[in-house]
């Protein structure tokens, strides 16, 4: 079939060593592809990548049965595979709401029942106090705990997978030599031949897979309204060992009214992470067409992280985000609500209009495949995602997967992006003011 690799020995370059790039490499390696090279700006786990830090929620609670099924399959792997199991913590996942018969929770429970999975109803504050012991909690209307869920040590799982891939013979190139500068396109302008990198000679390949997460709009023209970056705030609180012991068994908890969620303390160092599944912040940065943002004519303005800087280094934290997280923390763990953050961070979501992933060949450039669009919910799929992406790569995916993960056609109208799969809460997306963006080093 047109555009499908004709041999397992074709050279494949994957740009991006996060969830999308590494899981794709794993699946391709398992299918026998012998010549795979992964490029990244840094050694994974990449400090400012989206697939890092101490934790990610692993849950199958989705209104869309497609992702619910996929997540259930992934959780099975988190629980059983030698590679991923050490990084999975089956703490359970608690969802609370202020709304009686909240459609989001009711539909999720219906899906769980359909899958013959058990969950525990929470209907009063006494039930909440059992879940979060030793706190002076005043308020719970409704909720449930999905016990077949938990969280993963994100950096740990990524490090383990990268090491595993290296052991299987996948090559890694990181740093300036691993940093994509631009695609090499043949004279006809229709075929990708490899990548130019920030240092040294070009790297040629029969196929290039772009798995560059929130950076992707830098490298693809006219798709920035379909793949865009949003910065999402998160804060960390240092618990004492005694608090750590007391809260060790709390579930990952989300208040679905506000979107604020928090994790049990990280074992060992007792860091408690708070975030919210919301609309985040946009920035304005300029990039030249079709390359990585060097000075050029005809610049376009997009919302993406910097390529040549560590986007997680700045101490800047939007004031409104700080307040919002504090308020959410105060409702769930009031005893620590006034303690200063030991660390804050902006982490990038790669947004698509409906929160669907992208795994598809480019419309006009043959040899170029795009695997991205995590939309703030991709991590949990790490153990299985690559198989579905590899199906798209080999054009054998079932139509449901193919249709959902299609690369959107470039559209000349800059229509408003509706980034929401129904799970986002909190204030609308806000553009960081110029001075905020400067302080954030973005």
Ligand X SMILES: *[C@@H]1O[C@H](CO)[C@@H](O)[C@H](O)[C@H]1NC(C)=O
Ligand Y SMILES: Cc1cc2nc3c(=O)[nH]c(=O)nc-3n(C[C@H](O)[C@H](O)[C@H](O)COP(=O)(O)OP(=O)(O)OC[C@H]3O[C@@H](n4cnc5c(N)ncnc54)[C@H](O)[C@@H]3O)c2cc1C
307 to 336: interface string for ligand Y, x by CB under 6 A: x-----------------------------
Among 29, 56, 87, 387, binds ligand Y (CB under 6 A): 56
Half-sphere exposure of 417 (CA within 13 A, CB side): 25
Q: Per rule CB under 6 A, is residue 51 in the interface with ligand Y?
A: yes
Nearest to 46 by CA among 433, 238, 372, 309: 309
Burial of 138 (0-12, 13-18, 19+ CB in 10 A): exposed
Stretch in the footprint of ligand X (CB under 6 A) among 39-47, 48-56, 251-259, 303-311: 251-259
Q: Of residues 139-178, which lie at the interface with ligand X (CB under 6 A)? A: 139-140
Which positions from 177 through 216 interact with ligand Y, judged by CB under 6 A?
178-180, 211-215
Q: Which of 98, 106, 394, 436 binds ligand X (CB under 6 A)?
A: 98
Question: Going by C-beta distance under 8 Å and a sequence separation of 6 or more, which residues neighbour residue 399?
Answer: none
Out of 255, 266, 352, 372, the only residue in the binding site for ligand X (CB under 6 A) is: 255
Under rule CB under 6 A, residue 124 binds ligand X: no
Of the listed pieces 5-13, 192-200, 254-262, 379-387, which binds ligand X according to CB under 6 A?
A: 254-262
Distances (CA, A) of 67 to 60, 61, 157, 394, 401: 7, 9, 21, 21, 10
Q: Confirm or reject binding of residue 349 to ligand Y (CB under 6 A).
A: yes
What is the nearest approach in angstroms of ligand X to the Cβ of residue 266?
A: 22
- Any contact of residue 262 with ligand X (CB under 6 A)? no
Binding map of ligand Y across residues 260-289, x = CB under 6 A, - = no contact: ---------------x--------------
CB 355 within 8 A of CB 284: no
Q: Which residues contact 293 (CB under 8 A, 6 or more apart)?
A: 218, 285, 286, 287, 307
- Rounded to 5 degrees, φ, ψ at 58 are -115, 105
In the list 34, 257, 306, 420, the residue contacting ligand X (rule: CB under 6 A) is 257
For β-strands 271-276 and 207-210, DSSP reports them as unpaired
Find how far residue 195's CA is from the centre of its chain: 24
Beta carbons of 280 and 228 less than 8 angstroms apart = no
Q: Is 256 in the site for ligand Y (CB under 6 A)?
A: no
Calpha distance 390→106 (Å, rounded): 34
For ligand Y, the binding residues (CB under 6 A) are: 15-21, 39-42, 46, 49-51, 56-57, 178-180, 211-215, 232, 234, 275, 292, 307, 347-350, 372, 374, 376-380
- The residue ranges that bind ligand X (CB under 6 A) are 96, 98, 139-140, 255, 257-258, 331-332
């Amino acid at each position: 079939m047109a555009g499908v690799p004709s041999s397992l020995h074709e050279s494949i370059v994957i740009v991006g060593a996060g969830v999308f790039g590494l899981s794709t490499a794993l699946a391709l390696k398992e299918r026998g592809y012998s010549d795979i090279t992964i490029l990244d700006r840094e050694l994974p786990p990449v400090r400012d990548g989206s697939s890092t830090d101490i934790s990610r929620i692993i849950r199958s609670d989705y209104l869309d049965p497609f992702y619910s099924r996929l997540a259930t399959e992934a959780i099975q792997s988190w629980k059983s595979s030698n590679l991923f199991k050490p990084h999975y913590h089956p703490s359970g996942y608690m969802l609370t709401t202020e709304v009686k018969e909240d459609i989001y929770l009711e539909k999720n429970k219906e899906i769980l029942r359909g899958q013959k999975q058990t969950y525990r109803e929470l209907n009063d504050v006494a039930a909440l106090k059992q879940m979060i012991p030793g706190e002076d909690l005043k308020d719970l209307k409704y909720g449930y705990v999905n016990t077949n869920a938990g969280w993963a040590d994100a950096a740990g799982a990524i490090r383990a997978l990268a090491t595993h891939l290296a052991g299987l013979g996948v090559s890694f190139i990181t740093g300036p030599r691993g940093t994509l500068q631009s695609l090499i396109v043949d004279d006809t302008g229709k075929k990708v031949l490899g990548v130019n990198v920030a240092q040294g000679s070009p790297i040629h390949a029969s196929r290039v897979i772009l798995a560059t997460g929130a950076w992707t709009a830098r490298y693809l023209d006219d798709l920035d309204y379909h793949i865009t970056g949003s910065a999402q705030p998160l804060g960390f609180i240092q618990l004492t060992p005694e608090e750590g012991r007391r809260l060790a068994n709390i579930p990952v908890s989300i208040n679905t009214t506000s979107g604020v969620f928090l994790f049990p303390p990280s074992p060992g160092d007792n860091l408690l992470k708070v975030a919210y599944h919301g609309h985040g912040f946009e920035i304005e940065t300029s990039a030249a067409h079709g390359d990585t943002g060097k000075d050029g004519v005809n610049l376009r303005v997009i919302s993406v992280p910097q390529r040549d800087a560590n986007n997680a280094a700045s101490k800047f934290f939007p004031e409104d985000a700080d307040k919002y997280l504090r308020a959410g923390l105060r409702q769930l763990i009031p005893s620590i609500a006034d303690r200063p953050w030991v660390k804050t961070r902006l982490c990038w979501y790669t947004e698509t209009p409906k929160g669907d992933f992208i795994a598809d060949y480019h419309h006009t450039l043959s040899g170029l495949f795009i695997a991205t669009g995590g939309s703030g919910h991709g991590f949990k799929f790490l153990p299985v995602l690559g198989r579905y992406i590899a199906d798209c790569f080999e054009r054998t995916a079932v139509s449901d997967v193919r249709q959902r993960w299609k690369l959107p056609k470039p559209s000349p109208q800059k229509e408003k992006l509706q980034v929401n799969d129904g799970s986002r809460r909190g204030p609308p997306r806000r553009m960081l003011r110029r001075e905020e963006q400067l302080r954030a080093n973005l």
